[in-house]
Chain A
Amino acid sequence: QVQLQESGPGLVKPSETLSLTCTVSDGSVMRANYHWTWIRQSPGKGLEWLGYIDYSGRANYSPSLRSRVIISADTSKRQFFLEVTSVTAADTAVYYCAKTGLGRPEYFEQWGQGTLVAVSS
């Protein structure tokens, strides 16, 4: 079973850019028809879908965050990435990367352990 691991700074200053990396244990899986997804969870709140990048490099974002989110990938490094620009305290959350079902962006069958990012000066 493929493993996913998030990494990145745990503290970001307001107005700056949040940057996270998700490393996938099996690089060959990244060339298959999965959708590599980012999801976050604010403290004490529900889950929020941020967007995905697929095996062809096509990205799809949450309408509410589209102006501030970029998802990219480097399959040679078995990694995909999240950037959130102009962060505020409202972006403080645990950020998860996830792998969807094969050919199915609609559900998330494998998750990373999550990484907490706090936005504070």
Chain B
Amino acid sequence: SYVLTQPPSVSVAPGQTATITCGGPNIGSKAVHWYQQKPGQAPVLVVYDDTERPSGIPERFSGSNSGKMATLTISRVEAGDEADYSCQVWDINSEHRGVFGPGTKVTVL
């Protein structure tokens, strides 16, 4: 089965840039989607298909995907960006199913 890896935590000062990575075998060949989840709330889609932003998501959120790593970048970090961020792909190798990464806790210092 397909497994995604993420760092458990990332810390960033306000106004700086947070970079969250997501790894997996040949992940560059898959579309990666990213979700933001604040405590006690449902996840919110912030990036889909590697680089696309849903309406209402600030341009400060951007994504990329190449080789063995996908990345979510949050520019000009704000206190309200503190949350868990999970990457997700669709695994079609043997079964068609959704696979989530373990999540990364972003702490704004």
| A60, CB-defined interface residue at 8 Å | yes
| Contact present for A60 and B97 (CB under 8 Å) | yes
| A55, CB-defined interface residue at 8 Å | no
Give the docked Cα–Cα distance between A47 and B100 (Å): 6
- Count of chain B residues with Cβ under 8 Å from any Cβ of A? 26
Interface segment among B21-29, B39-47, B66-74: the answer is B39-47
Q: Please encode chain A, from 92 to 109, with 1 for each CB lying within 8 Å of some chain B CB and 0 for all others.
A: 000010000100011111
| Contact present for A47 and B86 (CB under 8 Å) | yes
Give chain A nearest CB distance to B95 CB in angstroms.
5
A residues less than 8 Å from B96 (CB atoms): 60, 105
| A48, CB-defined interface residue at 8 Å | yes
| Contact present for B42 and A113 (CB under 8 Å) | yes
| A87, CB-defined interface residue at 8 Å | no
| Contact present for B54 and A109 (CB under 8 Å) | yes
| The one of B35, B86, B90 that contacts A105, using a Cβ cutoff of 8 Å | B90
A residues less than 8 Å from B103 (CB atoms): 46-47
| B99, CB-defined interface residue at 8 Å | yes
| Contact present for B48 and A107 (CB under 8 Å) | yes
| Contact present for B42 and A114 (CB under 8 Å) | yes
Give me 17 other A-B pairs in contact (C-beta within 8 A), A37-B98, A107-B90, A113-B42 excluded: A47-B35, A47-B100, A60-B96, A63-B94, A96-B43, A105-B96, A106-B89, A106-B90, A107-B31, A107-B48, A107-B49, A109-B45, A109-B48, A111-B42, A111-B43, A111-B44, A114-B42
Residues of B near any A CB (own CB < 8 A): 1, 31, 33, 35, 41-45, 48-49, 54, 86, 88-90, 94-103
Would you list 14 pairs from A and B whose C-beta atoms are within 8 A, ordered by A residue? A46-B86, A47-B103, A49-B99, A63-B1, A101-B48, A105-B98, A106-B90, A107-B33, A108-B35, A108-B98, A109-B48, A109-B54, A111-B43, A112-B42
